[in-house]
Every structure is written in C-alpha cells, then in structure tokens.
C-alpha cells in the first residue's frame, strides 16, 4: 500500500484537541444570546468534524479525487439547506404587497409561523 | 467481412447452469439479469396503464371505482419510475458497456454489482407484494400528510420496497463512478471516453447524491405511520411541505437519471449512422455534467402552488430556465452531427431521431411549466402528464429501445430482423404521439390528472389517447417478440455489424467473459469516423440488407 | 501480483484506490441521508425556537457529554488500530478493535438508559406523549413533541449505524485473528475505520444540536 503512515503523536494531538473542543461546546451553551450560541455550537462541531476527516480519516494525505468526493456530500447538503431555507425564511411574505389590499389573515399566519 | 470470427467461448456459453447466472459477478451477465427483470416490471406497469386507459374511454367511472383507479395509477407510477426508468439504461446497457467501452475487465466492484441486482429484485418483489395484497393509493409521490396520516393502504411496505431499491441504485452509481475513475485502459483519457460514459457518469452522480434523500424522506413517512412520531403532522406543528422539499430534492434530479443515459445512447447512435465525428464533443460531455448539477437546484418548481414562499418560487422558476441551456446544446450538437452526414435510417437511428423530436417537445413544454404563472394554470392537469411522458417515454424509452437494438448484436451475437425493427420504431413514434399529444390539449383545457371520471367534452381527446396507447402497446410487444425470435433465428452479426467505432466493437460478439484478452491501448479520440471513405460506406450496408 | 488483488484489477494500488473512492462515495450518500433529518430539524427549530429549547432542557447534558467523549475515544482507538494494521502488528490491531467495540457498546448502553428515562417521563412522541408540568408552571408548547420526534428518530438512526459498525468491527476481529490482514493488505480495516469515523462525526453534530440548545 502506498498509504502514508501517520505518526501516533498526530492522532493523540487531534484527540486532545477534540476533547478541548468538546469542553468548549458545553461551555458555549451558556452564551445567553441564542443566535450566538447556535453559531458557536455549529462552528465548533464543524471544526471537530474537519479534524476527524482530515487526520483520522486521512483525507489530508489522500489524492485530490478523494478530497473532492469527501467534500462533495457536504457541498450537496449545503445546496439542499440553502434552497430549502430560502423557502422557510420568506414564507408568508408577499412580494407585491403594496398592490393588494391589506389582508389581516396574512400577518396572523406569519406571526404563528415565526414566534 | 465475411470471415466468421465467432468465438468458441463467450460470456453466454461459458456456463449454462442457472446458478452460474444467479451468482455471476460478470457485469455482462448482471446486465442481462437486469434486462430480463426490467422487461417484467415494464409490462407490469404497462398492464396498469392499459386498465386506466380503458377506464378513461368513457367519461363516467364505469370500469373501476375511484379507489381502484388511484391504486392503478400509483402502481403504474411506482413501478415505471423506480423499477423501470431509473435503472433502465444504466443497469442494462450501462452495466454491459461501461467496462467494455473503457477497456476494463469488469466494474470496480463486481460483487456489489451483483448485490445491487438482488437488492433491486428484493425491493421490486416487496413492492409488487404490497400492491398485490391491497395496493397503495398515494400516487408515486407519497405526499404527506395523506401518506403519513390518512391513507389506509400499504404505504409502509411500498416505501420499504423503494428504500431497498434505492440501495441498488446507489450501488450502481457508486460502482460506475469508481470504475470510470480507476479502471480506464491506458490511453483512455477523460476526453477520449465515449459520450455514453460521460452520460453514465453524470447519471451516477445524481444516483449517489440524490437517492439517500429519497430514502430518508420515505423512512420518515414510514416512522410517522408506524410509531406515530409526528414529523410532518400539522397537528403538532409539523410541515407537510418539508416532505415535498426532501422528496423533490431527489425526485427532480431523478428525472435526469431518467433522461441523461438516453442522451448518451443517442450520441452514440447518431454519430455512428451519420458516419461523422460527433459535433462538439466537449460541449456534449460537459452539458451532461451541467444537467446533473443544475438538476439539483430546481426542485421547487414542483411546489409552485403548494404554499412554498413566492420568493423561493421565483428563484426556482428562474433557475429552471437554465436547464434548458445544456439540453438545447445537446439537441443542437446532434443536429449538427447529422448535418452533411451520410445518414442511414437503421432501426437504432430511427429510435434516436424519434428521441430528438419527442425530447425537444417534452423539454420545451417543460419551460411552460417552469414559468411560475403558467404553471398555476396547468398544474396537476393532463398537460403535466403529457410533458413528463414526452421526456420519459418519448425520450428515455425510445433511447432504451434504440440502445437495445444498437448493441443487441454485441450482447447476443445475433442480428434482429431489420424490417420489423423499423416498423416497431415507427409504430411507437406514432402511437406515442397519438397517446400523449391529446393530453397536452386536455390539460390546457383544464382536465385534472388522477381522476377516474371526467366531463363529457373531454371524451374525444381521451378516446384518441386510448387508441394511441393501444398502438403503443403493439409497438412495445413487437420488439419483445422479434428480439426473442432473433436469439435463435437471427443472422450471426460478427463483431462489428455497424462498422462502429469504440472499444466495445473491437471485442467478439458476444464478448468473452473477461472482455479483452490483452488490455487495449487507446491512441486516438472517440468517434473516429471517416465520412469520405467510400469503401467503408459500401460495407456498412451489408448487415442491414442481409437481415431484411 | 499478490494473491489479494482481484482478477479485474491491474495491481494493489488500483484496488486500494478504488476501495477508497467507493467508500467516500458511500459516505457522501450517508451525509445526505442524515442531512435530510438535519434539514428538517433546522427548519423546525427556526419555526419553533422556544419549543425546541424547552425540549432540549429535558435531555441530560452530562450523559450526552460523556457519550461524546466515549465516541471520540473510540475514533482514536480505530485510528490507532489502522496504524497497527499498517505496521503489520496483528495483536495491536485486535486489541484496539476490541477497545473500539467496548466503547461502542458503552455508548449504546448509556443511550439505552437515556431512552428508558425518556420513556418513563412520557416524552416518547405519539399517543403516550404527556410531559410532566410542575405545579404553577405553564404547559410546554405543543411543538415540543416535534423536538422529541427528531431526537428519537435521529439518535435511533445513529444508534442503528453504531450497531452495524460494531458488527463490522467484530467481523474484523475475526478476520484479523485468522491472519487475513498484513502490512500489505488491510483495506477492509481502513474502510471500516472510515465508516466508524463518519458515524462519530454525525454524533459530533447531534450532541450540540439536541442537548445544548439555548
């Protein structure tokens, strides 16, 4: 096999970093601002995932095609998230509202969907 | 070319036992297994179509009651989409040809390839069983909350069957992608690959990236039904539209699974029977990838009238227009290939030309549907039924049959009767148009889809449609009959009856078990046809005339 | 050519490269499979932030943290097991695979305990769903049931992947003890390792999103 052999020290360092990030994510849950807390949680999770993918899963030492394949699934997931979210974020809004008589039911639905 | 180079041993006669077929990891045998099973499913789905076309001969619901009618169109949709169209060209022609075309001994994972056929059969039989013991009435789309809460039919069993068949699809796609990356013969660079391989590669990307999302959406419906774990249940705040997002994230790109391989077949056939190098190779190759990628960005155009946000609708409508670009690039390139070509109207060529016409019709009416405001008018009418049948039946089934005819000599070593072949191609073309063109009109006039009864004024067009369907049926039964006949009585074809270019034609017909004795070395581009070569022109008529 | 190269491959490098690409494609399908659930979770959490925060408070953060630590440790042991396989150290390989299996079972044990606890608190969605409301407090929003729908579906699908992973690890132990692997050939160990790490990554996202909401 032409696979590069990674020294165990790298694995231990990565594991240490993962445990530190775990502590960090538990601590970050105490952030009072909900949006900020979620951003922190997701950022830490992405960092942990990257560490695992790059080092434990050897992507850092792999061929370019492997890297593209490894990234591909996540890229497609991002596409799915982006377009679906574009629906949920703008649902209930009416683009040409000024041309219509005000409809009270519309604002009600909106309030219900986005408490 | 009268020398008989019939090999003494090939993949067909290497071993005759049933087990040698059922346990074969040879990609060519797996392809044949797929072809037989797909044919069965095709006629099961077709039988349902016969029944509801009969029902629609008269305005009142007199042949079947509405519940039966719902089950019939669901059966037709589920079987035709998941058990015929999605695997059609990839699993049969793709399986057979991909290793031959790139100069490999087999696919990268032969055992997984065989396993995918077993998964296909397991999923298929599961679904058929679910339908036999009671049926499903949700339509092939399984929309929530009807499928998750209200339907009293076998939704879970059908979903499980499709879930299993999804694995089969994923494994086929995965196998093709890896094979194209790692198994190409020396000198077979990416831009020397036949365009059929590019099309398969693009198709496989969709299979791998889309199918798991279908799996999870069906799993969530099954979980909701089974454990009352409401995910799409509006009663606890769930959103039924979430299902549509997940479902169409797969099922819109799946439409391209059902057309891209057909486009690959047409590229091969057109260039061979025009005796010309394909026009714009790189454009056709990249347009396949472009269709695969763009296909993932437009699913919301199925949800224009669903309560999806209008802003999202506008984005999806806008992006849908872009799919027309790579599709049109292909049609223009095929036309340019035909231009000043030395054309012979053989059976595969007739199918391929039919494909171009019908696909163009289907594609252009797709633009109507992608336009937000027009879609509101024709949504859920027969207009949309006609549109996707022009793509899937007029496009994919034509291409599938064209491909089967084109490579039939390679697969079996026999020639089919050319005259009958042409008759079937013409019958199918006219039968198809008579069946589905009236449906465009019906839809535009406002006849909704999925009802067993309809208003009096729609009868004439419906009778036309049913009459066309019967011609179409004959058109499909003909190849079944003469292709089986040719297995025993067809003339021996020799390795290359069409004087076609490509590595698959350099093997004997049928090929030997390991395809190539020595790994071939590729030195030139694909489609090295020489139109001016008179000697070659003479020769290419030989098989056609000798067969008829 | 060595005996472990299948007939249709030219050499071991081509075979190993094919296996790696195939495995990564399979993992891409897994990303999108789990991704569908994450998508649903994200949209509903956006629609009902308070209900989801409320539901999250019913989960045991300590147990969740311990379980995350266990999974991260199992990923380390798998990585070290592959390292052992690369060097041809059969004993190290088997020992570390067994450690991985034990850690995996520990994870599932804690998970089962949590499920049982939720069952007792009537927090399993469906007809029995009936969260306890302390006296003087407002009833939780009805959408909290959605949070538990996602909690149970996502963790159950994850646990199913763990069970499969443990089965694969057991198979590897059997193969290793039968001298099936060497420093030249350990592709199955490596591929199973990729799968295990992937299942770990899913949990890395599940933990903060389910246990640590607001």
B308-B309-B314-B317 Cα dihedral, nearest 10 degrees: -10
- Of B238, B228, B220, B180, the C-alpha closest to B204 is B180
Judged against a pLDDT cut of 90, whether residue B59 lies above it is answered with yes
Contact (Cβ atoms closer than 8 angstroms) between residue B148 and residue B224: yes
**pLDDT given for residue B545 in this prediction:** 41
Q: Which residues of A touch C47 (CB under 8 A)?
A: 88, 113-115
- The position carrying tokens 């024709």 is B378
For B17, the token pair is: 């036992």
Which among B181, B241, B315 has the least Cβ separation from residue A86? B315
pLDDT tier at A34, thresholds 50, 70, 90: confident
Q: Which residues of A touch C60 (CB under 8 A)?
A: none
Judged against a pLDDT cut of 80, whether residue C11 lies above it is answered with yes
- Of B344, B482, B471, the C-alpha closest to B421 is B482
Q: Is B171 on the interface with A (CB under 8 A)?
A: no
Q: Is B448 helix (H, G, I), strand (E, B) or coil?
A: strand
Average the pLDDT over B437-442 and give the result.
Answer: 96
Q: Is B114 on the interface with C (CB under 8 A)?
A: no
Quote the CA–CA distance of B450 and B377 in Å, as a whole number: 16
Q: Is B455 on the interface with A (CB under 8 A)?
A: no
- Alpha-helical segments (H) within B103-141: 110-132
Q: Which residues of C touch B181 (CB under 8 A)?
A: 18, 21
Quote the CA–CA distance of A86 and B184 in Å, as a whole number: 41
In this structure, how many other beta carbons lie within 10 angstroms of the beta carbon of residue A100?
9
pLDDT tier at B542, thresholds 50, 70, 90: very low
Nearest Cα of chain C lies from the Cα of A105 at a distance, in angstroms, of: 18
**pLDDT given for residue A111 in this prediction:** 40
Q: Is B492 helix (H, G, I), strand (E, B) or coil?
A: strand
Quote the CA–CA distance of A43 and B94 in Å, as a whole number: 42
Nearest Cα of chain A lies from the Cα of B275 at a distance, in angstroms, of: 36
Quote the CA–CA distance of B180 and A109 in Å, as a whole number: 51
**pLDDT given for residue B544 in this prediction:** 43
**pLDDT given for residue B236 in this prediction:** 87
Task: Verify whether the Cβ–Cβ distance C36 to B217 is below 8 Å.
Answer: yes
Give the Å distances, CA to CA, from C147 to A84, B294, C53, C157, C211.
19, 33, 9, 15, 11
pLDDT tier at B531, thresholds 50, 70, 90: low
Which among A73, A76, A86 has the least Cβ separation from residue B312? A86
Judged against a pLDDT cut of 50, whether residue A29 lies above it is answered with yes
Q: Is B109 on the interface with C (CB under 8 A)?
A: yes
List A residues 42-71 in contact with C (Cβ-Cβ < 8 A): 42, 44-45, 48-49, 52-53, 55-57, 62-63, 65-66, 69-70
Q: Which residues of C touch A45 (CB under 8 A)?
A: 204-205, 207-209
Q: Is A73 on the interface with B (CB under 8 A)?
A: yes
**pLDDT given for residue B535 in this prediction:** 46
Quote the CA–CA distance of C66 and A43 in Å, as a whole number: 20
**Average pLDDT of the residues of chain B:** 92
Nearest Cα of chain A lies from the Cα of C194 at a distance, in angstroms, of: 6
C135-183 residue pLDDT tens: 888 888 888 999 999 999 999 999 999 999 999 999 999 999 999 999 9
- Which residues, including other chains, have CB under 8 Å from residue B283's CB and lie 6 or more apart? B329, B333
Q: Is A105 on the interface with B (CB under 8 A)?
A: no
Nearest chain A residue to B309 by CA: give it: A91
Q: Which residues of B touch C7 (CB under 8 A)?
A: 105-106, 514
Which among C26, C32, C146 has the least Cβ separation from residue B230? C146
List B residues 143-182 in contact with C (Cβ-Cβ < 8 A): 170, 173-175, 177-179, 181-182
pLDDT tier at B207, thresholds 50, 70, 90: very high
**Average pLDDT of the residues of chain C:** 92
Nearest Cα of chain A lies from the Cα of C206 at a distance, in angstroms, of: 9
Which among A83, A91, A92 has the least Cβ separation from residue B297? A83
Average the pLDDT over A88-101 and give the result.
Answer: 70
Task: Verify whether the Cβ–Cβ distance C21 to A2 is below 8 Å.
Answer: no
Quote the CA–CA distance of C115 and C124 in Å, as a whole number: 9
pLDDT tier at C7, thresholds 50, 70, 90: confident
Q: Is B328 on the interface with C (CB under 8 A)?
A: no
- The position carrying tokens 């006629």 is B43
Q: Which residues of B touch A84 (CB under 8 A)?
A: 242, 245, 249
Go through chain A and tell me how many residues it has: 115
As a whole-number percent, the residues of chain A with pLDDT over 90 amount to 63
For B271, the token pair is: 């260039």
B252-276 residue pLDDT tens: 999 999 999 999 999 999 999 999 9
Nearest Cα of chain B lies from the Cα of A1 at a distance, in angstroms, of: 16
- Of A15, B42, B116, the C-alpha closest to C79 is A15
B451-501 residue pLDDT tens: 999 999 999 999 999 999 999 999 999 999 999 999 999 999 989 999 999
Q: Which residues of C touch B105 (CB under 8 A)?
A: 7-8
Nearest chain A residue to C79 by CA: give it: A56
Task: Bin A58: left if φ > 0, else alpha if -120 < ψ < 50, else beta.
Answer: left
Average the pLDDT over B349-356 and give the result.
Answer: 97
Contact (Cβ atoms closer than 8 angstroms) between residue B176 and residue B98: yes
Q: Is C93 helix (H, G, I), strand (E, B) or coil?
A: helix
pLDDT tier at C133, thresholds 50, 70, 90: confident
- The position carrying tokens 């069957």 is B161
Judged against a pLDDT cut of 50, whether residue C47 lies above it is answered with yes
Contact (Cβ atoms closer than 8 angstroms) between residue C105 and residue C95: no
Q: Is C190 on the interface with A (CB under 8 A)?
A: yes
Quote the CA–CA distance of B503 and B183 in Å, as a whole number: 14
Quote the CA–CA distance of B64 and B52 in Å, as a whole number: 8
Judged against a pLDDT cut of 70, whether residue C3 lies above it is answered with no
Q: Which residues of B touch C154 (CB under 8 A)?
A: none
- Of B123, B148, B233, the C-alpha closest to C148 is B233
C-alpha gyration radius of chain B: 23
Contact (Cβ atoms closer than 8 angstroms) between residue B427 and residue B475: yes
Nearest chain A residue to C33 by CA: give it: A77
Average the pLDDT over B277-282 and give the result.
Answer: 94
Quote the CA–CA distance of B381 and B464 in Å, as a whole number: 17
Judged against a pLDDT cut of 90, whether residue B299 lies above it is answered with yes
Q: Is A34 on the interface with B (CB under 8 A)?
A: no
Nearest Cα of chain C lies from the Cα of B216 at a distance, in angstroms, of: 6
Burial of C188 (C-beta count, 10 Å sphere; 0-12/13-18/19+): middle
In this structure, how many other beta carbons lie within 10 angstroms of the beta carbon of residue C96?
22
- Which residues, including other chains, have CB under 8 Å from residue A64's CB and lie 6 or more apart? none
List C residues 67-106 in contact with A (Cβ-Cβ < 8 A): 68-69, 72-73, 75-76, 78-80, 83, 86-87
- The position carrying tokens 């449906």 is B439
Give the chains touching B; criterion: ≥3 Cβ pairs < 8 Å. Answer: A, C
Question: For testing the chain B interface, which of C30, C37, C40 should be mutated: the one with the most B CBs within 10 Å?
Answer: C40
pLDDT tier at B541, thresholds 50, 70, 90: very low
Q: Is A93 on the interface with B (CB under 8 A)?
A: yes
Cis ω on the peptide bond leading into residue B145 (within 30° of 0)? yes
End-to-end CA, chain A: 57
Cis ω on the peptide bond leading into residue B510 (within 30° of 0)? yes
For B219, the token pair is: 């799993």
**pLDDT given for residue A109 in this prediction:** 42
pLDDT tier at B519, thresholds 50, 70, 90: confident
Task: Verify whether the Cβ–Cβ distance B311 to A65 is below 8 Å.
Answer: no
Q: Which residues of B touch C37 (CB under 8 A)?
A: 216, 220
Judged against a pLDDT cut of 90, whether residue B91 lies above it is answered with yes
In this structure, how many other beta carbons lie within 10 angstroms of the beta carbon of residue B197?
27
Give the Å distances, CA to CA, from B275 to B342, B494, B508, B534, C211.
6, 19, 22, 11, 66
Q: Is B173 on the interface with A (CB under 8 A)?
A: no
Q: Is A83 on the interface with B (CB under 8 A)?
A: yes
- Alpha-helical segments (H) within B228-280: 240-257, 260-273
Which among B104, B177, B215 has the least Cβ separation from residue C33? B215
């Amino acid at each position: 096999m032409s696979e590069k052999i990674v020294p165990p020290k790298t694995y231990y360092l990565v594991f240490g970093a993962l445990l530190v990030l775990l502590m960090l994510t538990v601590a970050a849950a105490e952030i009072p601002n909900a949006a900020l807390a979620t951003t922190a949680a997701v950022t830490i999770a992405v960092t942990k995932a990257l560490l695992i993918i790059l080092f434990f899963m050897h992507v850092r030492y792999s061929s370019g095609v492997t890297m593209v394949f490894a990234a591909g699934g996540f890229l497609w997931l991002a596409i799915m998230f982006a377009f679906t979210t574009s629906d949920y974020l703008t649902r209930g809004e009416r683009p040409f509202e000024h041309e219509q008589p005000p409809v009270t039911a519309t604002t009600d639905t909106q309030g219900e969907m986005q408490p | 070319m009268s020398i008989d180079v019939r090999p003494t041993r090939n993949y067909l006669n290497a071993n005759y036992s049933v087990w040698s077929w059922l346990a074969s990891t040879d990609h060519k045998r797996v392809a044949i297994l797929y072809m037989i099973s797909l044919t069965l499913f095709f006629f099961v789905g077709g039988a349902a179509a016969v029944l509801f076309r009969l029902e629609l001969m008269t305005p009142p619901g007199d042949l079947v009651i509405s519940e039966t009618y719902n089950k019939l169109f669901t059966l037709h949709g589920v079987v035709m989409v998941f058990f015929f169209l999605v695997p059609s060209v990839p699993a049969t022609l793709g399986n057979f040809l991909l290793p031959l075309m790139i100069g490999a001994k087999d696919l990268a994972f032969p055992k997984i390839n065989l396993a995918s056929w077993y998964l296909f059969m397991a999923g298929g039989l599961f679904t058929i069983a679910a339908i036999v013991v009671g049926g499903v009435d949700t339509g092939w789309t399984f929309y929530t909350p009807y499928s998750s809460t209200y339907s009293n039919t076998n939704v879970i069993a059908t979903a499980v069957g499709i879930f299993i068949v999804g694995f089969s699809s994923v494994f086929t796609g995965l196998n093709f992608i890896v094979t194209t990356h790692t198994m190409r013969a020396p000198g077979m660079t990416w831009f020397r690959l036949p365009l059929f391989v590019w099309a398969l590669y693009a198709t496989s990307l969709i299979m791998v990236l889309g199918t798991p999302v279908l799996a999870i959406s069906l799993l969530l419906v099954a979980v909701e039904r089974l454990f009352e774990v409401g995910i799409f249940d509006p009663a606890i705040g769930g959103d039924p539209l979430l299902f549509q997002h997940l479902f169409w994230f797969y099922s819109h790109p799946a439409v391209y699974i059902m057309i891209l391989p057909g486009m690959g077949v047409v590229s091969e056939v057109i260039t061979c029977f025009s005796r010309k190098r394909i026009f714009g190779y790189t454009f056709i190759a990249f347009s396949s990838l472009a269709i695969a990628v763009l296909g993932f960005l437009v699913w919301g155009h199925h949800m224009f009238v669903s309560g999806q946000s209008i802003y999202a609708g506008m984005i999806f409508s806008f992006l849908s227009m872009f799919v027309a670009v790579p599709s049109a690039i292909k049609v223009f390139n095929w036309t340019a290939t035909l231009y000043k070509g030395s054309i012979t109207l053989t059976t595969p060529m007739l199918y391929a030309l039919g494909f171009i016409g019908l696909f163009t019709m289907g594609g252009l009416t797709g633009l109507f549907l992608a336009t937000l405001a027009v879609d509101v008018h024709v949504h859920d009418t027969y207009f949309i039924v006609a549109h996707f049948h022009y793509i899937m039946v007029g496009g994919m089934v034509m291409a599938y049959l064209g491909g089967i005819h084109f490579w039939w000599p390679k697969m079996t070593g026999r020639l089919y009767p050319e005259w009958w072949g042409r008759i079937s191609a013409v019958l199918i073309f006219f039968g198809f148009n008579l069946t589905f063109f009236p449906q465009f009109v019906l839809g535009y006039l406002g006849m909704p889809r999925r009802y067993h009864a309809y208003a009096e004024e729609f009868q004439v067009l419906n009778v036309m449609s049913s009459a066309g369907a019967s011609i179409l049926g004959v058109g499909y039964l003909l190849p079944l009959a003469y292709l089986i006949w040719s297995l025993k009585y067809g003339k021996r074809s020799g390795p290359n009856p069409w004087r076609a270019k490509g590595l698959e034609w350099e093997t004997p017909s049928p090929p030997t078990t390991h395809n190539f004795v020595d790994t071939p070395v590729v030195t030139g581009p694909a489609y090295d046809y020489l139109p001016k070569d008179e000697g070659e022109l003479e020769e290419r008529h030989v098989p056609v005339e000798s067969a008829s | 050519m060595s005996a472990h190269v299948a007939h249709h491959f030219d050499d071991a490098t081509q075979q190993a490269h094919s296996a790696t690409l195939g495995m990564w494609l399979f993992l891409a399908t897994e990303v999108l499979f789990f991704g569908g659930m994450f998508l649903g979770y994200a949209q509903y959490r956006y629609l009902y932030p308070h209900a989801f925060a409320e539901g999250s408070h019913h989960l045991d953060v300590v147990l969740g943290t311990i379980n995350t630590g266990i999974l991260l440790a199992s990923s380390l042991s798998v990585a070290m097991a592959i390292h052992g396989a690369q060097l041809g150290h059969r004993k190290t390989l088997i020992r570390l695979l067994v450690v991985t299996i034990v850690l995996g079972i520990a994870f599932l044990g804690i998970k089962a305990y949590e499920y049982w606890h939720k069952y007792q608190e009537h927090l399993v969605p469906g007809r029995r769903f009936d969260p306890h409301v302390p006296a003087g407090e407002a009833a939780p929003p009805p959408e909290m049931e959605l949070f538990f729908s996602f909690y149970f579906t996502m963790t159950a699908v994850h646990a199913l992947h763990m069970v499969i992973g443990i089965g694969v690890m057991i198979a590897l132990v059997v193969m290793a003890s039968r001298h099936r692997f060497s420093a030249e050939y350990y592709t199955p160990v490596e591929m199973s390792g990729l799968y295990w790490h992937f299942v770990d990554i899913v949990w890395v996202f599940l933990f903060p999103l389910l246990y640590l909401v607001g």
